[in-house]
Amino acid sequence: MSLSAAIRSIPRHPVGPPSHPADLQSPKAPRRLKSFLEKTLTRANPTLHALLALLLLTACNPTPTPELHVFAAASLREALTETADAFQRANPKVQIVPNFAGSQLLRLQIESGARADLVISANPDHLEALHHSGLLAAPPTVVATNQLILAVPAANPAGISGLQDLTQPNRRVVMAAESVPAGAYARQMLAAHAAATGQPGFADTVLQRVISFETNVRQVAAKLELAEADTGFVYRTDVLASNGRLHVIQTPPQVRVTATYPAAVLRDAPNSDLAQRFLTFLRTPQAQAILTRHGFGAPA
Amino acid sequence: MLAPVGVLIARGITRADIGAALASPFVRGAVQLSLVTSAIAVLAIVALGTPTAYLLARRRFPGRALVDAVIDLPIVLPPVVGGLALLLLLGRQGPVGGPLAGAGIDVAFTTAAVVLAQMFVAAPFYIRAARAGFESVDERLEAVSSTLGARPWRTFRRITVPLALPSLAGGAVMAWARALGEFGATIMFAGNVAGRTQTMPLAILEAMEADANAAIAIAVVLAAIALAVLIAFRGLARAGSRAL
């Protein structure tokens, strides 16, 4: 008897179709859930009732704390958090809700209708675009400046000593994407070095050494802190915020790139008066002292 | 569920100039990279996952329950956590990546990292389906085959695999779809460089910040592939029930 004939002679057993690979629930699951919900909701359940009472209380709070939604460039994280704390101490009824991201993403969120009162970008381009689209209540005001720098992990494993070292083969460079302010500034610095040293292909060579174009400058700093890259372009403030995990590599004054941080109240800001007050506060000596301590420069 | 995808596709067809966007080097590079990396990832998953699934379905061995549980981990683990874990293991400072880097082999932030990230998140989908497929094959058929003198490998190849084939193919298709859509683990572990590690989902994020039409074009391609996968999977499921 052949093999196939032998197999055909065996009574077949019903076998189902291939089960769904992500088949995580049994057919009993919905029934079980239903009975669980019924039990939980119908029986006297002190915990549940307490929770519901709490929910109702918070929902009916007659004087809600005004929330100020501040969309801020990723590099402002520590400095703005501290400035917001100072503002809230002076205005205890205000709750500042920050949203930190790459400035290009903040712009995209605002263009897509995100609820925001104040926006602070790490370069003028994105706010100018918002202004052109009529999304700002007034032209932007500069609240701080910053310096783009070349940084290395504290141990400097690749022995980077200047921009020229970035052209060596096997160097792993990390920087922000071109739409991110820190990425645009990095390209400016590369162009300045190329012009100062007369190497037209310099920027392209360095861009070939880039292992990742990150979506905000703090992702660049993170890759450097993990020493997954040899060097990268961040702000002076990011090195200060790294608590010694990053070091600055000195670059000559010809390639100096200064970042400006414009801020503006949104046209559709739910709390525009409050937003304007916080914007004014950012330019006071008290707020500027906090920003300076985190490495930012005064508005030019 | 249909509404957002429907709007996406309608918007893509009517307003975004899909043809022009797809012809741009930025989108073409991402599509090409995604297709190549996900194909390699699925081949590797099938090569490594088939024996694993077979062992889980047919053999009792110490630590089987543990293996069974660990295989499902990537399904419940947020992909971005998986990516960070891969980076800490295989990055230059990692316990495995360190010695490899010493030998001149970089894994993190390379195209190989893209494939590994895709394998990590997609493998459970294939292994689960393959295991269910092997379990559905009547063990007596295999027994008969061996009593008739077929060696285990021949039995596996001629009896077990053909009977489990719809499940294996279905699992591979689902794993491929999951690999193609991988985002979180890839951006953490492989970084974002056009042509090298920027797959279609990563390109969507970057395009949103520059040219929304390009983002919509890539999204439409991914949605179309997803629909095709769904149809193929249902077809395989029907083929499976007909064959048996």
What's the gap in Å between the CA of A214 and the closest CA on chain B?
Answer: 7
Q: Quick one: pLDDT band at residue A131, thresholds 50, 70, 90?
A: very high
How many CB pairs below 8 Å do chains A and B form together?
A: 111
Q: Which residues of B touch A1 (CB under 8 A)?
A: 148
Report the residue from A16, A18, A212 with minimal CB separation from B129: A18
What is the average pLDDT across A163-170? Answer: 94
Signed CA dihedral, B153, B157, B159, B164: sign only: positive
Please report, rounded to a whole number, the percentage of residues in chain B having pLDDT higher than 90: 70
Q: What is the pLDDT of residue B16?
A: 65
Q: Say whether A15 and B244 touch across the interface (CB within 8 A).
A: yes
What's the gap in Å between the CA of B132 and the closest CA on chain A?
Answer: 7
What is the average pLDDT across B81-105? Answer: 93
Is the CB of A231 inside 8 Å of chain B's CB atoms?
Answer: no
CB B91 within 8 A of CB A222: no
Q: What is the pLDDT of residue A62?
A: 47
For an interface test with A, the pick among B26, B73, B109 (most A C-beta atoms closer than 10 Å) comes out as B109
Residue type, B27: V
Q: Which two tokens stand for residue B37?
A: 């990396």
CB A99 within 8 A of CB A106: yes
What is the average pLDDT across B233-241? Answer: 80
Report the residue from B150, B158, B192 with minimal CB separation from A213: B192
What is the average pLDDT across A134-143? Answer: 96
- CA dist B179 and B35 (Å) reads 10
Q: What is the pLDDT of residue B14?
A: 81
**A40 pLDDT exceeds 60?**
no
CB B226 within 8 A of CB B177: yes
What's the gap in Å between the CA of B88 and the closest CA on chain A?
Answer: 9
Q: Say whether A228 and B109 touch across the interface (CB within 8 A).
A: yes
Report the residue from A1, A23, A177 with minimal CB separation from B206: A177
Q: Say whether A227 and B93 touch across the interface (CB within 8 A).
A: yes
Please report, rounded to a whole number, the percentage of residues in chain A having pLDDT higher than 70: 79
A17-31, B74-88, B149-163, range with the lowest pLDDT:
A17-31
Long-range CB pairs of A136-140 (<8 Å, 24+ gap) are A136/A264, A136/A265, A136/A266, A136/A267, A137/A264, A137/A265, A137/A266, A137/A267, A137/A269, A137/A272, A138/A264, A138/A265, A139/A264, A140/A262, A140/A263, A140/A264
pTM over 0.80: no
Q: Which of B37, B88, B83 is nearest to B183 (CA)?
A: B83
Residue of B nearest to A4 (CA): B145
- CA dist A217 and A233 (Å) reads 8
Q: Quick one: pLDDT band at residue A10, thresholds 50, 70, 90?
A: very low
User: For chain A, which domains are there?
Assistant: 67-144+261-293 (3.40.190.10), 145-258 (3.40.190.10)
Q: What tens digit of pLDDT does each residue of B152-175 get?
A: 999 999 999 999 999 999 999 999
- Dihedral, CA of residue B1, residue B3, residue B8 and residue B11, to nearest 10: 170
- What integer best gives the mean pLDDT of chain B? 91
Q: Quick one: pLDDT band at residue A6, thresholds 50, 70, 90?
A: very low
Is the CB of A176 inside 8 Å of chain B's CB atoms?
Answer: no
Q: What is the pLDDT of residue B39?
A: 97
- Model ipTM over 0.90: no
Beta bridge partners of A118: A70, A265
Q: What tens digit of pLDDT does each residue of B16-65 get?
A: 678 888 888 889 999 999 999 999 999 999 999 999 999 999 999 999 99
Residue B69, exposed/middle/buried by CB under 10 A (0-12, 13-18, 19+)?
A: exposed
Listed by start position, the domains of chain B span 2-243
Going by DSSP bridges, is the β-strand pair A258-265/A141-153 parallel, antiparallel, or unpaired? antiparallel
Q: What tens digit of pLDDT does each residue of B170-212 get?
A: 999 999 999 999 999 999 999 999 889 999 999 998 887 777 7
Q: Quick one: pLDDT band at residue B117, thresholds 50, 70, 90?
A: very high
Q: What tens digit of pLDDT does each residue of A209-252 get?
A: 999 999 999 999 999 999 999 999 999 999 999 999 999 999 99
What is the average pLDDT across A166-191? Answer: 96
What is the average pLDDT across A32-43? Answer: 53
Cβ contacts of A263 within 8 Å, gap of 6 or more: A118, A119, A120, A121, A127, A140, A141, A142, A143, A279, A282
Domain B2-243 CATH (choose: 1.10.10.1100, 3.40.50.20, 3.90.700.10, 1.10.3720.10): 1.10.3720.10
**3-state helix/strand/coil string of A52-116:** HHHHHHHHCCCCCCCEEEEEEEHHHHHHHHHHHHHHHHHCCCCEEEEEEECHHHHHHHHHCCCCC
